[in-house]
């Protein structure tokens, strides 16, 4: 079992939650999302984001609108759908539960 | 200087350097393959392309108009290598896809052979790419297959036809995946990418014809210059050798065609036999005699011309091309050359098969004639006609006279008669397309012989009607002698006798001029002296064998033989009781004796016997 694999799996698990979180407050186009994810070192390269966005959109969690750009082709601005907002709430709850669980487990172990 | 390619990426036009384009193209293809099993591949790809276009836009501006390799590398770094997509992706779909992908890979590497498909490789062809394709299929270097086909062309043109058939039935590898299937490589992104890359490179090479010079300008290194100089020297040398070869080919081609024309017009044979003139062999009836009809003969001749003219003209043309700037062959010339060979071969086959069919069946007819005219105990055997000396086994021995074909296909043997008098047995045989026809032809064979007093003369020539043509007609004749009679072989008999069995294993030519007596065991020479045997098979072995000693025994009797042995002082006690020994033991003892006696000893033996005053003349 490689540490890299485990790390990648953990990152993958929270990646979707993070994307939805970024889009909770305001809409964004992929490059902006990438910037924020990169800050958190959640992803390294941009390419991996696009399939994720498409999947979330196909699942009905995201929608997008086109906007002209001065520097190149038109951009897709993504935002949450109603379902997406519901989904995010669910995820937030789950995340908190998980955090608690992890913290509890770790405290017990350190005692 | 670099070539650029114009590309439309997400609706924006970019000028990209050729090698950079290639890299980008490969990159996008690889990614597309990773997503091939998922929904919305096109959408993902469109998004990625849009982002790439955006990134390129950022790189450009400020007087820079062209996307370079460097730009593409940067973009790939930002977007991530294809492996990263795989790594980061959590979807079941994708991991399944990956599994399938690697499984496929494994299958390919396990059973490379079975996964190969037979296609013609027109990227690497000499003619139709058949050998190249077969080479991939069987994993053999195509050069061996080409050599094989070339060799087979000379085996009745088999290689040629086989090639044409294969050319017709094997499909050409058109698409990239077919090309990969042909080479037995797994159809995956990298390989498709590589193939496309190869094609692109080939294309590039074709486009800039003097790329080497361009390259030299760019690198400008001394080493490069040296190699280019070396290359030029080699090029000049090759050109020089090419010119010489060209001249040789040209001359060979011209010589070949002239020979062919001379061959057709006058025929290669210039000979006169028995006053028959063969100067125009092909145009005489002689050659036609072997074919079923004149038209078949001419059909075969035309076929041979058609087939032989093509390689000759090809050689001529090749020489001309090497020597000067003759335009390269076009489709019309190639097609007409091929059709000439094909039609020629068909003509030859028709002519040959119809002719061969008329040789397919053999029939024999045997008749025995009693010769009551011969009364004497001794007869003389010879042949009619003293001008003719037989050449055995060549087409020269055939000639036509008065609508009859004459040939020297007779063999005379001397055997023991099955009746009480002399007899002549004749076995005539001929070939035809049916047994009936062959039988008729055999019956048509005429044999000439004459009996005068006690002399039998047989003609060395048999004759058949012209309409029967030459169909392997031959006669085996056996002169039957009753036991106790003698035949004398006259000098002229040399023209007719063939392999006469005799008790001393003497050759035909040595039997001439001697009297031969028929005994229960076979023919024995009654007037041969030692020197005659010397010319027969005995001296070649130097030691007399069983047969020879048996002959001695027959002539001088066992008693005398034992006596001989005693004089010689050879202690072979068993031989003293030769009479009592069985035939087999006697033979084995005599064999031992034969091995002991050297040639010189035999000579001494003869002298000793004669000085003893023996009446018996021994011939050893």
In chain B, which residue's Cα lies nearest the Cα of A9? B90
Tokens of A79: 């935002």
Lowest pLDDT segment from B33-37, B145-149, B280-284, B501-505: B280-284
Angle between helices B69-79 and B18-34 (to 10 degrees): 20
**Which residues does residue B6 pair with via DSSP β-bridges, in sequence order?**
B15
Percent of chain A past pLDDT 70, that is, above it, reads 94
Burial of B114: CB neighbours in 10 Å, binned 0-12, 13-18, 19+: exposed
pLDDT for position B610: 41
The strand order across the sheet containing B361-370 reads B361-370, B423-432, B474-481, B410-416
pLDDT for position B92: 39
pLDDT for position B390: 42
- The pTM (predicted TM-score) of the whole model is 0.40
Lowest pLDDT segment from B64-68, B320-324, B426-430: B320-324
Q: Which of A48, A53, A73 sits opposite B54 (nearest CB)?
A: A73
Q: What is the pLDDT of residues B380-438, one digit of tens each?
A: 998 886 444 444 434 456 777 777 888 888 899 999 988 888 999 999 999 999 999 99
Cβ atoms B512, B556 nearer than 8 A: no
The pLDDT-based confidence of B342 (bands split at 50, 70, 90) is very high
Tokens of B415: 């055997």
pLDDT for position B575: 43
Is the pLDDT assigned to residue B487 strictly greater than 90?
Answer: yes
Please tell me which of B195-199, B225-229, B551-555 the model is most confident about, judged by mean pLDDT. B225-229
Q: What is the pLDDT of residues B535-546, one digit of tens each?
A: 444 333 333 444
CB contact under 8 A, B50 and A47: no
Q: Which of B615, B87, B130, B34 is nearest to A2 (CA)?
A: B87
Q: Which of B539, B547, B580, B582 is nearest to B562 (CA)?
A: B580
**Which residues does residue B412 pair with via DSSP β-bridges, in sequence order?**
B477, B497
Lowest pLDDT segment from B19-23, B105-109, B179-183: B105-109
CB contact under 8 A, B40 and A12: no
Please tell me which of B80-89, B111-120, B401-410 the model is most confident about, judged by mean pLDDT. B401-410
CB contact under 8 A, A44 and B57: no
- Non-local (6+) Cβ contacts of A84 within 8 A are A20, A23, A56, A60, A61, A62, A63
Put residue B175 in one of left, alpha, beta given phi > 0 → left and psi -120 to 50 → alpha.
Answer: beta
pLDDT for position B343: 92
Neighbours of B367 (CB within 10 A): 10
Q: CA B430 to CA B366: how far, in whole Å?
A: 12
Cβ atoms B16, B7 nearer than 8 A: yes
Looking at per-residue pLDDT, the higher value among B217 and A9 belongs to A9
Is the pLDDT assigned to residue B243 strictly greater than 90?
Answer: no
Q: What is the pLDDT of residues B145-182, one digit of tens each?
A: 888 888 877 766 677 777 777 777 777 887 777 777 77
Q: What is the mean pLDDT of residues B354-358?
A: 88
Percent of chain B past pLDDT 70, that is, above it, reads 64
Tokens of B347: 């003509």
Interface probe with A: pick from B87, B88, B89, B91, most Cβ of A within 10 Å: B88
pLDDT for position B399: 73
pLDDT for position A14: 82
CB contact under 8 A, A72 and B40: no
- From chain A, pick out residues whose CB is under 8 angstroms from the CB of B53: 72-73
The per-residue pLDDT of chain B, averaged, comes to 73
CB contact under 8 A, A47 and B58: no
A103 to chain B, minimum CA–CA distance in Å?
25
Q: Which of B537, B546, B527, B558 is nearest to B595 (CA)?
A: B546
In chain B, which residue's Cα lies nearest the Cα of A47? B79
Interface probe with A: pick from B7, B54, B74, most Cβ of A within 10 Å: B54
Is the pLDDT assigned to residue B618 strictly greater than 50?
Answer: no
Q: Could you tell me if A95 lies within 8 Å of chain B, comparing CB atoms?
A: no
In chain B, which residue's Cα lies nearest the Cα of A76? B47
Is the pLDDT assigned to residue B102 strictly greater than 70?
Answer: no
CB contact under 8 A, A72 and B54: yes
pLDDT for position B37: 67
Is the pLDDT assigned to residue B564 strictly greater than 60?
Answer: no
- Non-local (6+) Cβ contacts of B551 within 8 A are B503, B504, B524
Q: What is the mean pLDDT of residues A23-36?
A: 85
Cβ atoms B410, B458 nearer than 8 A: yes
pLDDT for position B379: 92
- From chain B, pick out residues whose CB is under 8 angstroms from the CB of A51: 35, 38, 44, 85, 89, 91
Looking at per-residue pLDDT, the higher value among B413 and A35 belongs to B413
Percent of chain B past pLDDT 90, that is, above it, reads 10
Is the pLDDT assigned to residue B278 strictly greater than 60?
Answer: no
Q: Looking at chain A from residue 61 to 90, which residues have their Cβ under 8 Å from any Cβ of chain B?
A: 69, 71-76
Cβ atoms B314, B321 nearer than 8 A: no
The pLDDT-based confidence of A55 (bands split at 50, 70, 90) is confident
Looking at per-residue pLDDT, the higher value among B187 and B239 belongs to B239
Q: What is the pLDDT of residues A89-111, one digit of tens each?
A: 988 898 888 888 888 888 776 65
The pLDDT-based confidence of B89 (bands split at 50, 70, 90) is very low
**Count of A–B CB contacts within 8 Å?**
81
pLDDT for position B65: 79
Tokens of A70: 């001065």
The pLDDT-based confidence of A1 (bands split at 50, 70, 90) is low
pLDDT for position B420: 85
């Amino acid at each position: 079992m490689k540490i890299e694999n485990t790390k990648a799996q953990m990152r993958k698990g929270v990646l979707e939650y993070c994307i939805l979180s970024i889009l909770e407050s305001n809409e964004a186009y992929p490059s902006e999302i990438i910037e924020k994810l990169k800050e958190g070192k959640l992803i390294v390269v941009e390419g991996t984001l696009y399939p994720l966005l498409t999947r979330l959109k196909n699942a009905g969690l995201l929608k997008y609108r086109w906007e002209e750009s001065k520097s190149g082709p038109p951009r897709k601005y993504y935002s949450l759908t109603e379902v997406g907002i519901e989904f995010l709430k669910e995820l937030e709850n789950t995340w908190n539960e998980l955090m608690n669980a992890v913290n509890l487990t770790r405290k017990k172990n350190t005692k | 200087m670099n070539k650029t390619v114009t590309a439309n990426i997400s609706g924006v036009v970019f000028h990209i350097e050729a090698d950079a384009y290639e890299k980008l193209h490969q990159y996008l293809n690889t990614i597309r393959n990773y997503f091939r099993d998922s929904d919305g591949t096109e959408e993902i790809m469109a998004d990625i392309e849009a982002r790439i276009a955006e990134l390129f836009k950022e790189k450009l501006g400020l007087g820079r108009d062209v996307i370079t390799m460097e730009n593409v590398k940067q973009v790939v770094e930002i977007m991530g290598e294809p492996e990263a997509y795989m790594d980061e992706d959590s979807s079941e779909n994708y991991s399944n896809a990956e599994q399938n992908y690697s499984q496929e890979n494994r299958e390919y590497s396990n059973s490379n052979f079975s996964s190969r498909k037979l296609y013609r490789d027109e990227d690497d062809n000499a003619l139709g790419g058949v050998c190249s394709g077969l080479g991939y299929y069987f994993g053999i270097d195509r050069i061996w297959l080409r050599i094989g086909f070339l060799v087979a062309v000379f085996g009745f043109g088999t290689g040629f036809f086989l090639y044409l058939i294969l050319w017709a039935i094997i499909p050409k590898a058109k698409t990239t995946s077919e090309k990969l299937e042909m080479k037995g490589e797994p159809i995956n992104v990298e390989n498709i990418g590589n193939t496309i890359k190869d094609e692109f490179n080939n294309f590039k090479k074709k486009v800039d014809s003097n790329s080497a010079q361009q390259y030299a300008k760019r690198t400008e290194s001394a080493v490069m210059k040296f190699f280019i100089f070396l290359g030029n020297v080699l090029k000049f040398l090759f050109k020089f050798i090419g010119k010489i070869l060209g001249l040789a080919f040209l001359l060979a081609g011209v010589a070949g065609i002239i020979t062919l024309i001379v061959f057709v017009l006058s025929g290669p044979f210039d000979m006169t036999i028995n006053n028959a003139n063969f100067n125009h062999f092909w145009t005489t009836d002689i050659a036609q005699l072997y074919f079923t009809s004149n038209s078949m003969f001419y059909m075969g001749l035309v076929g041979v011309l058609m087939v032989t003219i093509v390689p000759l003209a090809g050689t001529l043309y090749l020489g001309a091309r090497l020597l000067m700037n003759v335009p390269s062959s076009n489709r019309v010339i190639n097609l007409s050359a091929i059709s000439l060979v094909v039609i020629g071969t068909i003509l030859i086959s028709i002519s040959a098969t119809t002719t061969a069919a008329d040789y397919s069946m053999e029939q024999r007819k045997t008749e025995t004639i009693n010769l009551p005219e011969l009364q004497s105990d001794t007869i003389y055997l010879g042949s009619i006609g003293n001008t003719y000396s037989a050449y055995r086994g060549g087409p020269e021995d055939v000639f036509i006279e008065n609508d009859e074909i004459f040939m020297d296909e007779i063999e005379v043997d001397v055997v023991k008669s099955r009746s009480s008098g002399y007899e002549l047995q004749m076995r005539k045989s001929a070939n035809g397309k049916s047994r009936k026809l062959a039988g008729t032809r055999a019956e048509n064979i005429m044999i000439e012989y004459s009996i005068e007093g006690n002399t039998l003369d047989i003609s060395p020539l048999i004759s058949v009607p012209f309409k029967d043509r030459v169909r392997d007609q031959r006669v085996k004749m056996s002169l039957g002698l009753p036991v106790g009679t003698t035949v004398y072989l006259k000098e002229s008999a040399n023209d007719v006798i063939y392999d006469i069995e005799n008790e001393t294993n003497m050759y035909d030519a040595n039997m001439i001029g001697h009297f031969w007596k028929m005994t229960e065991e076979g023919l024995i020479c009654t007037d041969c002296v030692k020197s005659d045997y010397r010319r027969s098979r005995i001296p070649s072995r130097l030691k007399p064998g069983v047969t020879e000693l048996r002959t001695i025994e027959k002539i001088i009797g066992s008693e005398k033989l034992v006596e001989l042995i005693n004089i010689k002082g050879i202690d072979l006690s068993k031989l003293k009781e030769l009479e009592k020994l069985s035939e087999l033991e006697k033979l084995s003892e005599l064999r031992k004796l034969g091995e002991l006696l050297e040639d010189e000893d035999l000579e001494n033996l003869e002298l000793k016997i004669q000085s003893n005053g023996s009446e018996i003349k021994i011939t050893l």
